[in-house]
Amino acid sequence: MEQDTAYLYEQACNFVAEASRLLEKPLQENALIESKRNVDDLVTEMDRAVEELFRRRVTEYFPAHGIVGEESGEKAPKNGCETVWYIDPIDGTTNFVHQHHFFVISVGIYEEGHGKIGIIYDVMQQEWFSAVRGEGAWLNNKELPKRSSVKPEEAIFGLNGRWLIYGDKQQVCRNLTAKVRSTRCYGAAALEFAYVAAGRLDGYISMKLSSWDYAAGFVLLEETGCSYQTVQGGPVISFNEQGIAAAVPGLDLWLQKQLQETGIDKK
Ligand code: IPD
Ligand code: CA
Ligand code: CA
Ligand code: CA
């Protein structure tokens, strides 16, 4: 690995490890918990504390780098930053609040728009899912093999039941659920991308995700031979809020056909 990349990766892991220590204990009873856009969209003081820690560390160690984080309200990096950190301080906040399990810190580092480093750390399981472009992907330092094809009827998909309440989205979820072996909902998008890369899921679909939800996951998917597409069955050409579907090779083509045939609205 190039020296600069190795240094960036090492520091990013250090920041994640430091941040994770803030999340190991359950929330105190009087902790501040607010809901943002809906009852399933929570934010706690710990989400903000972790993001703040990353801002301090990245600014201190890499002052020229840009930062996009969920809790800061900036949806795009400042102009002129070649390297950008996409940070989800807690992915799976609802799990963090209710179960204190199945939540991760997700960090994707992009250079000139290309994914370079992805780190997804499951704090309670102490599982590090990480990848560096061109170097491979690892789970707790053990290299992850490239994924191979899985037949739809033998595939396990990550899918959140919430999408069953929306018209055209309901249709695609019902169709997929009918055709695959089974579905799971872990409630943390980044973790579900990591699970596809690591062989615990064969596909994952979500109708609305933001850059911090998928940036790290994309690097893991690419390094394990998996792919991602929009829920309209097209290429991902922007880092906007959008629906994303990920799958192992082979199954991705089948998935694309299903998505294109069902025709999901862009809204
Ligand atoms: C959410 C989780 C959830 C997904 C939502 C995300 P958050 O992230 O990943 O599984 O369905 O779309 O917003 O708010 O816990 O970081
Ligand atoms: Ca959130
Ligand atoms: Ca998230
Ligand atoms: Ca979050």
Closest ligand 1 atom number to CA of residue 70: 16
88 is in an annotated binding site: yes
Percent of the chain with pLDDT over 70: 99
The answer to whether 132 and 242 are in contact (CB under 8 A) is no
Number of other residues whose CB lies within 10 A of the CB of residue 249: 15
Q: Is ligand 1 within 6 A of the CB of residue 206?
A: yes
Q: How many CA atoms lie within 13 A of 10 on its CB side?
A: 7
45 is in an annotated binding site: no
Q: Is ligand 1 within 6 A of the CB of residue 93?
A: yes
Q: Is ligand 1 within 6 A of the CB of residue 44?
A: no
91 is in an annotated binding site: yes
Instruction: Quote the pLDDT of residue 206.
Output: 96
- Residue whose CA is at the smallest distance from ligand 1 atom 15: 92
Question: Tell me: the pLDDT tens digits for 21-77?
Answer: 999 988 787 778 888 777 778 889 999 999 999 999 999 999 999 999 999 877 788
267 pLDDT exceeds 70?
no
Q: What is the 188 CA–ligand 3 centroid distance (Å)?
A: 7
Q: Is ligand 1 within 6 A of the CB of residue 255?
A: no
Q: Is ligand 1 within 6 A of the CB of residue 139?
A: no
Q: How many CA atoms lie within 13 A of 267 on its CB side?
A: 5
Domains and their CATH numbers in the chain: 3-143 (3.30.540.10), 152-262 (3.40.190.80)
Rounded Cα–Cα distance for residues 112 and 50 (Å): 25
Q: What is the 24 CA–ligand 1 centroid distance (Å)?
A: 19
Number of other residues whose CB lies within 10 A of the CB of residue 137: 24
90 is in an annotated binding site: yes
Question: Tell me: the pLDDT tens digits for 176-191?
Answer: 999 999 999 999 999 9
Question: 3-state SS of 84-96?
Answer: EEEEEEEECHHHH
**Alpha helices for the chain (secondary structure H):** 3-23, 45-61, 93-98, 167-179, 189-198, 211-223, 251-262
pTM of the shown model: 0.96
* Nearest ligand to residue 216 Cα: 3
